[in-house]
Structure 1
Amino acid sequence: MVFPTSYFFFILTLLLGTVISVSSTSWFGAWIGLELNLMSFVPLIALKMNPSFSEAALKYFLIQALGSVLFISSSFIFLSFPTFSLLSIFSALLLKLGSAPFHFWFPQIMEGLKWPQIFLLSTIQKLAPLTLISYLMVNEILVKITILSAILSALVGSLGGLNSTLLRKITAFSSINHLSWMLTAISISDMSWLFYFSIYSIILLSITSIFHKLQTFTLSSLTQSDQNSPFHALLISLNFLSLSGLPPMTGFIPKWIIIQIMVNLNLFVPLFFLLLSTLITLYFYLRIIIFMILLFNPILNFNMKYKSFSSSPSSIFLKSSFNFIGLFLPLYLTFI
């Protein structure tokens, strides 16, 4: 079991806080939902009396508390200074998201978490702030700032993971890079970013569940795991290719839709930076994949343990099966 039974209450209140924030009709109600979400996630981080978990929980609490203070204090002055208040609320939401230029805390906290918490932090914890940002897209100034933040997030997320061999840090910068696509999609339409968020969440769920099963946090431990095999290496490689958005994998479908919309709206400058960052992230994904292929080659695998093929490959294949939908999409379109 990923979380103890006693902690399911915190998962329920975490989801409840997200629902309250999304469905609220006032900034105060949205703040209450964000606070409930925050206070429910902190116990899920500090599951054990471990220094790394305690440090990550404390850092997360302080950063989110700072964002909450900025959020609620800015909402109080909305009637007197509406433009300044909206800018401050927007900055507080970017801080809670971990988007550039407020990304400094996100990779550090991710390094102290386990894979189930990483999945929650990268998906469910971003749902409420992203929805609140979409409510602010009626202001033309905020739309331009959102696109600027998306460009910065794309550059930070792609360049930050280049020299890292830690899987959690690579996942953190990858999340920042995908956040740039979501912010761009938010400035375009609600359906596009919700579709992108859903696809990204499912792909990340398959990757984090595999890494949690193998208990790997670095590239070296990924290849030396007792439960690992060449079949696992192939599935992990395909998951990374799907996460990078390489066609014809499933991860390319939402990016393809956003690219078409941005071309129709003549958003060529932000599209250039998004595509450039995608190529850079594809580079460090390919570096992981090539590393795994080389070490799983029987000729080069002279100092490695024997990897058994019988370590329940069917369960891992089922977790990764969503990434293969894009492979059959061209075949489906030919019959329409």
Structure 2
Amino acid sequence: MTTLLEHEKDPAGPAPRTETPLQRALRMEPRPVWEEEPTKAGLAFKGVGLVAICAIVIVPIWVVLVTSLSDTKTINKAGGLVVWPEHITFIAYKELLSGGAVTRAAAVSVGLTVVGTVVSMVVSILCAYGLSRRDSYAHRPLLMTLMATMFFGAGLIPTYLLVTGIGLSDSYWSMILPSAISVFNVLVLRGFFMDTAPELIDAARIDGAGEWRILLQIIMPLSRAVIAVISLFYAVGYWSQWFNAMLYIQDSDKYPLQMILRQLVLQHQVPPGAMGAAVSSGAINSLAVQMAVMILALIPVAVLSPFVQKHFQKGMLTGAVKG
């Protein structure tokens, strides 16, 4: 009776309640008839597999971090890599960031990453947009030519002769221009650009918009996901670059951070200066220095990846399927 009276007083009925995640999960549609219910053994196997995969990823990073924060006594006691810290010290990072060769190399890597990513994205976006317009000049021959370079390359020696022949030897551009464009990234961008609704482009052309305005105000704002993902790919590539530096750079002051890391880890060469004297005197363990440089090289990628992670599925899958 009370419920009926209350309903008569309030014709609109009770206010809708906010649905909890549990209620949404219970309201989900049942599994298809061909999909089996997960068994306890299957769920346990998946859980163990996920834990094992996480351990494979996390444990090496943990060991590298702990070793970089350990003193010489702890490293000598462990016989190398340290699994559990005993005496935490930041002396390795202090020496690395005190203005020596590693600090200069880190600045070079940051500059190469920023400039190289901008150059690569500008070239890739312009190329992908031109190839995404089927009425563009020489559309099919240019596309086939680009795709052929994915399977057939000139080789290392012709590339080296070309780079040195045009005067790029021992310059920062020798680490940018030879790898300025990736055909795979261009094809992904092209596929995403082709997915743009043609009605929007036709309406813009009717309003008098040119190709530059269509690209800058319509195509690129709708393609933020794929642009973010491709920018991360290029940035990681430039940040991790060392091979071009080894080929074309003779001045050690122009070495990127990865080249210094290669000297430390593979060649066991400590950069000259205060850090080299500290390693020679035993104040800093050379293994701690190597691990500290690894952590410094890993930080930018680890920081940027979570911000772009949400765009990976939309950016890569849509562009790849459409392309």
With structure 2 as the length reference, what TM-score do the two structures score?
0.30
**Larger radius of gyration between Structure 1 and Structure 2:** 2
Judging by fraction of residues, say which structure has more helix.
Answer: 1
- Return the structure number with greater relative CO, CA threshold 8 A, min gap 6: 2
